[in-house]
Chains A and B, each alone.
Chain A
Amino acid sequence: MSLYGSAVKRPIMTTLCFVAVVILGLFSLAKLPIDLYPDIDTNTIMVITMYPGASSEDIEQNVTKPLENTLNAVEHLKHITSKSRENTSVITLEFEYGYDIDVLTNDVRDKLDMVESSLPDDCENPIIFKFSTDMIPICLLSVEAKESMPGLYKILDEGLVNPLARVDGVGSVSISGAPKREIHIYCDPNRLEAYGLTVEQISSVIQAENRNVPGGAFDIGSNTYALRVEGEFDSSDQIADLPVGSYGGKVVYLRDVARVDDSLEERTQETYINGEAGAIIIIQKQSGANSVQISDKVMKMLPRLQKNLPSDVKVGVVVDTSDNIRNTIASLEETVLYALLFVMIVVFLFLGRWRATMIIIITIPVSLIASFIYLFATGNTLNIVSLSALSISIGMVVDDAIVVLENVTTHIERGADPKQAAVHGTNEVAISVIASTLTLIAVFFPLTLVTGMTGVLFRQLGWMVTIMMIISTTCALSLTPMLCSQWLRLVRHHGKLYNRLYLPIERVLDRFDDGYANLLRRVVSHRTLTVIICLGIFVGSVFLMRFVGTEFFPTQDNARIGVNLELPIGARVETAREVTCRLDSLWRKKYPEIKVMTYTVGPASSDNTFASLSDNGAHIISMNISLTDPGDRKRGIKEIADGMRSDLDREFPEYKKAQVNVGGGRGMGMGGQSTIDFEIYGYDFTETDSVARQLQAILRGIPGTADITISRSDYQPEYQVDFDREKLSMYGLNLQTAAMYLRNRINGAISSQFREDGEEYDIKVMYDPAHRTTLEDIENIIIYSPSGAGIKVKDLGKVVERFTPPTIERKDRERLVTVSTVVDGAPMSEVVAEAEMKIDEMHLPAGITVGLAGSYEDQQDSFGDLLLLGALIIILVYIVMAAQFESLTYPGIIMTSLLFAFSGVFLILWLTGHTLNVMSMIGAIMLIGIVVKNGIVLIDYISLNRERGMSIRRAVIDGGRSRLRPVVMTTLTTILGMVPMAVGSGQGSEMWRPMGVAVIGGLTFSTILTLLFVPVLYCSFAGRGVKRTRRKLRASNTEFKNPDTAL
């Protein structure tokens, strides 16, 4: 027995089956974590190789090149970029999306094993490092302190960092801005010289004295005792009293040659929160963990942890990325609910009966909730993509149920018993319902096959909609007929309320039908004119395309701005602090939208993983700004960023480089402002540098560019000591020993660890800061030969100022410099077009090429993918329709409505000022399926009328008239389902607005034109068909009459 037959026969079973699905769906929903995007697997692997003492050019030649040449053979590699700086080579391998990163890592490891033997001897083994979006911190906590400031590191480490790091899913917790305790032994070089002591001697004395040594066990009588010598310092004061040598028969104490400074690390990162010094705690998640869940746990723990901290230590939240996720998801959920409401109103207006409306509406929650089971089963999250899928589907899942209900109602009105009507009514439309679902699946299923980053995003959309469509069709063929058989009754007389409320609507709808029929009659009589006008409109809209700019992803207002500032190389931390302090107070006054503003100056210590991965140094300042919610402020994030850029330009010439990044980071693909990278390939530094500077100047002159930066930094000035090897050997010294003498005096020698309360602090012996401020100080450093003779550095060599070459960047095994610009205020396509024109005019030196990358490259890739996908979908949809109609002409006629859909998309994008981006293109692709549905309904009924014996003209007009309502109704449900998406103003709405706008524009425009153009084309083609048949008939008749002529 058929599905609908048994469903009608067994209402309890049918109901409970769907109840079970809903319960499972709700269960899954409760368990579903939320996130911003579907899981995007890492596609980057870094290979870091250390080669101590090598210059950047050595590194490039001896380490980076051989590694690159071997790694280039790894499969699915998209780009290989490298940075060769002093001592280190960092190679980044970027793979195509969608491949298992673990397998790729193994491949990389195999290749590294092959090449390892050909690397220089002193070179350390390459380290593989997987980088992912997970490395971006999910929470930044601010810590303000007063009295506890000196001991803050320890307090935070014990009271905050360790408990937080134990939270399930937290990857690493690091502190920045709270310096660690360190005990410095500041030596006076003059006194050392006077007593004939060295830093090394003092260091080894401290090392030898600060010890606990077990002396073994011995027996006294019947007992065994342990023997120990406990010499470890109990307090740092004891160090000062250490005897470090003797001079003239007297003991020299440490205090005679040095002072003990029990304080904090010398060079550290300082952090300011809203202008006040404090510390920042950075929480990163483990790979694959859910940000919202972790942040929930962290937030729950904070009040408890705060209680255990000293009363002056205040912990606050600077950035909680989960806030943005939660708000975005909440506003999307609201969108879904509004869509549901709108669809309900439309259905009720057209059907006029609440029972029928309920039957239709019930399919929405059932199909939507069922899709949660899929999300849960595949370990996905509730994110922008899956929720947009829900919003898109709401208008479409009701279509099948409407068709079924309409036919069942016809049967009931004819007098059939509701049960019989439900079975037979469904039976009659089952095939066409399945066929129309197939056309939609033909559109959405291929979305699951897209590769690249867009593929990662839209795979879920494809699956979700496909699943919802299948469920809704199943629902329409089982639950809907069952409910019809139970709830629908033949109503001959309507109540008073119905008459008063619904009759006027009915009258309007009738008049609408009549009006359309009249228009259709006129249009069919003037076929050529109609075709010319419609095609004219299409061609006109294609010209509009030139005015619609393109970009990759719309910029999202996530209320975060990141600012990277750079003073000229070599600037002291104090200068950075002073200038940035001014900037900080100016901005906080000028932009009241700023909620929290933090900035960090100074070099990162090595144990701060997050900070040490990013660029840092005394001259580099990084800022993190959180704005208030987008709904609560008038200025958008772009506007604020623009203001900040012009402030930096006009009032802060001190900064050599300044980047204002909307969304926190630059070039993160989605959400942030688009960037265009101009890559200048060429070997020669001076030539590429000059091209880069020219290009920077050119870009400055193009409207729509901002924050133009050149990736290569300047030559770094430094002092080098050139030892004379001959002199060194004369004194029995070698270069390494001499260099170590320098290092121990300036950087310091870590001699031992001071233990207190289970914590260890470094004891560092070095020159007093006052004795390492001039070149003479360096030149006067005394190096002792093995024979004990002291020789000054200036006698062994020369101290010279030199410039070291900057980091050497390479991409795809060629040296390059990147000039990158943020696109702001103009569509990316225009900026690129103008820049390309200007670059063509430039006279590039031989061997130098300029290429485009950044968001522009991603956009080109994605657009290519999507266009291919569009073509594939059109072919699939054509196949499904041709199979359904058993005709090659009808699908062709229906396909013409696509032209108008695309016209509509361009038109509305142009009118609303949106750009053509990945989101609006996805909207256009969805249109392929939605738009042809209208054509199918129309053509199907017209050809049915023809089969029933009507003339072409009558079949068209009658068919058009009777199908107007279903077409308008399904179109309106889809359009109104999208309206909340298109006009939403919640957080993250910038992302999906272009998609909603594109669907609405395309669908409205194409429905109006389809309702006129398709019948006209049908008339022409069917007329020609009839003529051809007649001609054939006539030919065979004459043949029959004159058999001789036929021979």
Chain B
Amino acid sequence: MKSILITYDQAHHEAIIELLDRSGCRGFTGFGTVQGRGSSKGEPHYGTHAWPSLASAIITIVTDDHVDALLDRLKALDEAKPLLGLRAFVWNIERSI
């Protein structure tokens, strides 16, 4: 089991949900809108007067075999719209109930 944290520009939200469905990942936890900025480039997403855009984050726990396909799809989406930020991070799940 792996957990994948996807943070993205909120404009991506519907595309991400659809992408999860297509990849057969049913479960996820959304964080609503969150603030943040990229490590190297891109606009900050603060929801303020200066930086009005906002980001969203989703965490989904999937079986190991799903990870690659999901990440590939996310990468494709990110590359299709370079000006909207999209990042995904994967780590292990030790235990769950």
Contact = CB atoms under 8 A, between A and B. Distances in A.
Interface of A: 411, 413-417, 419-421, 424, 427-428, 943-944, 947-948
Contacts of B11: 411, 414-417, 420-421, 424
Nearest to B83: A414
Contacts of B83: 413-415
Contacts of B93: none
B65 interface: no
Contacts of B12: 416, 420
8 contacts: A414-B84, A415-B82, A417-B11, A424-B11, A428-B52, A943-B49, A944-B49, A944-B50
B80 interface: yes
A961 B50 CA distance: 17
B48 interface: yes
Contacts of B49: 943-944, 947
B2 interface: no
B72 to A, nearest CB: 19
A948 B82 contact: no
A416 B13 contact: no
B90 interface: no
Contacts of A428: 52-53
Contacts of B82: 415
Interface in B41-56: 48-54
A416 B77 CA distance: 11
Given A414-B81, A414-B84, A415-B83, A420 B14 contact: yes
A417 B48 contact: no
B38 to A, nearest CB: 14
Contacts of A421: 11
B54 to A, nearest CB: 8
A943 B50 CA distance: 8
A947 B50 contact: yes
Contact of A415 (B14, B50, B53, B81): B81
Nearest to A885: B49
B53 A420 contact: no
A411 B80 CA distance: 15
B53 A424 contact: yes
Contacts of B52: 427-428
A272 to B, nearest CB: 76
Interface residues of B, number: 19
Nearest to B78: A415
B15 A415 contact: no
Contacts of A424: 10-11, 53-54
Contacts of B54: 424
A948 B84 contact: no
A944 B53 CA distance: 13
Nearest to B11: A416
Contacts of A420: 10-14
A242 B15 CA distance: 114
Contacts, number: 42
Contact of A948 (B9, B13, B51, B81): B51
B39 to A, nearest CB: 17
A417 B14 contact: yes
A794 to B, nearest CB: 103
A73 to B, nearest CB: 59
A419 B12 CA distance: 11
B31 to A, nearest CB: 17
B51 A416 contact: no
Contacts of B81: 414-416
B42 to A, nearest CB: 10
Nearest to B82: A415
B84 A415 contact: yes
A943 B84 CA distance: 24
Nearest to A886: B49
A914 B17 CA distance: 65
A96 B58 CA distance: 68
A416 B9 contact: yes
A420 to B, nearest CB: 4
B13 to A, nearest CB: 7
Interface string B60-97: 00000000000000000000111110000000000000
A944 B51 CA distance: 8
A415 B80 contact: yes
Contacts of B9: 416
A411 B54 CA distance: 12
B50 A948 contact: yes
A416 B84 contact: yes
Contacts of A414: 11, 81, 83-84
Most chain B Cβ neighbours within 10 Å, of A416, A421, A947: A416
Given A414-B11, A415-B82, A947-B49, 16 more contacts: A411-B11, A414-B83, A415-B11, A415-B80, A415-B84, A416-B9, A416-B11, A416-B81, A416-B84, A417-B11, A419-B14, A420-B11, A428-B52, A944-B49, A944-B50, A947-B50
Most chain B Cβ neighbours within 10 Å, of A413, A421, A943, A948: A948
Q: Lowest 10 CB-CB distances: which A-B pairs, in order?
A: A415-B81, A947-B50, A416-B11, A428-B52, A414-B83, A420-B11, A948-B50, A415-B84, A415-B83, A944-B50
A419 B11 CA distance: 9
B48 A947 contact: yes
A25 to B, nearest CB: 34
A428 B50 CA distance: 10
Contacts of A411: 11
A495 to B, nearest CB: 24
Contacts of A947: 48-50
B49 to A, nearest CB: 6
A513 B75 CA distance: 38
Contacts of B84: 414-416
Nearest to A490: B81
B18 to A, nearest CB: 11
Interface string B1-37: 0000000011111110000000000000000000000
A867 B48 CA distance: 39
B53 to A, nearest CB: 7
Contacts of A948: 50-51
A496 B14 CA distance: 35
A597 B10 CA distance: 76
A416 B9 CA distance: 9
A427 B54 CA distance: 11
A421 B12 CA distance: 10
Contacts of B14: 417, 419-420
A428 B54 CA distance: 10
A144 B48 CA distance: 80
Nearest to B80: A415
A415 B10 CA distance: 12
